[in-house]
Amino acid sequence: MKVIDRNINIWNKFKSSNRNKLSLYIFSFIFLFSLFAEVISNDKPIVMNIDNQLYYPILFKYSDKTFGGYFETEANYKDNFMTSKISKDKNWAVFPLNPHSYDSINLNNSTPNPARPSIHNYLGTDDRGRDVLARLIYGFRLSVLFAFSLTAIGIIIGIFFGAIQGYFAGKVDLYIQRFIEIWSSMPELYLLIIFSSLFEPSILLLIILLSLFGWMSLSDYVRAEFLKGRNMEYVIAARTMGLSNYQIITRHILPNSMVSVITFLPFRISGAILILTSLDFLGLGVPPDTPSLGELLAQGKENIEAWWLSLSTFIVLVGTLLLLIFIGEGIRESLDTRSS
């Protein structure tokens, strides 16, 4: 009950600030919104009725022959054949709010790409004619999921090494500290460039490479908490009761050392988003056709006159980082025992 009451008090302190509460609600809504990107922004109908038969192109692939065409390839629901088929007799189709996917190209633009915002492309198109709004939605989702994955892996590794260092101390702490000092001196950017040239770029490769270096700063905080907690009275009492080292670490010290981990969580997520955006901007991140905020910023740099590319991406990126910073500040203040 004490743990439940403490968590309730922390939540009450967090939501007492309108800034914290609004930031959490807005970020959660936008992230949940982006998880349904295929339903919100897609060039395929959600559901369609052709000759009194229902089809669900957003879930299943249908060939052109399914609708009376000549090709075995997947139907293009924007070409003249399919548009005339949908508008025929009692046929109908329900398209997403933004009828463009991140990789669909608008071939009907009357102006050269990148095209300005219009009723067909709400935030314009990029230099290849792809819808900017669709790429922002998919790119935001990719960035946040990437940040969550990188943060989760970094926390697990950081807690593992920090706990071992702080709990056992002595030579164990000394050897691991020397290893961390050597490992942290490795040129991370150069390693990324080397591996990018050796392997095909992918999200998985980025997560693996960045996870090798992203845990060290957190391990220092966990180490400090364990060094402080290993000599506490409740830990000494647990040792005299015959509890194993694993039980003492997981049941007693770790739960009391999670404040620093939780406090840094939003800041680590925002840092991971910035890392991915920076690498994509430099061309060292995700594969070229993958929707990315950094890739849109790079296009904005190459096409200065296309202000909608840089401006829309800047608003999404800065807005996301501000929300995460406000959430992180709120968590820090809520966990601070010195505040009333």
Q: Which CATH class is domain 9-36+134-335?
A: mainly alpha
Q: Could you read off the pLDDT of 159-214 as tens digits, one per residue?
A: 999 999 999 988 999 999 999 999 888 887 788 888 777 888 788 888 988 898 88
Under a CB-based contact definition with an 8 Å cutoff, are residues 206 and 152 in contact? no
The pLDDT, as a whole number, for residue 269 is 92
- For 165-203, give one letter per residue: b (16+ CB within 10 A) or e: bbbeeeeebeebeeebeeeeeeeeeeebeeebeeeebeb
pLDDT less than 70: residues of the chain:
1-7, 336-340
Domain edges within the chain:
9-36+134-335, 43-95
Under a CB-based contact definition with an 8 Å cutoff, are residues 126 and 139 in contact? no
3-state SS assignment for residue 211 = helix
Q: Could you read off the pLDDT of 41-79 as tens digits, one per residue?
A: 999 999 999 888 999 999 999 998 888 888 888 888 888
The pLDDT, as a whole number, for residue 7 is 64
The pLDDT, as a whole number, for residue 170 is 87
- For 15-31, give one letter per residue: b (16+ CB within 10 A) or e: eeeeebeebbebbeebb
The pLDDT, as a whole number, for residue 165 is 92
- Dihedral angle over CA of 115, 116, 121, 124, nearest 10: 80
Token pair, residue 131, equals 């819808």
Token pair, residue 202, equals 């992918």
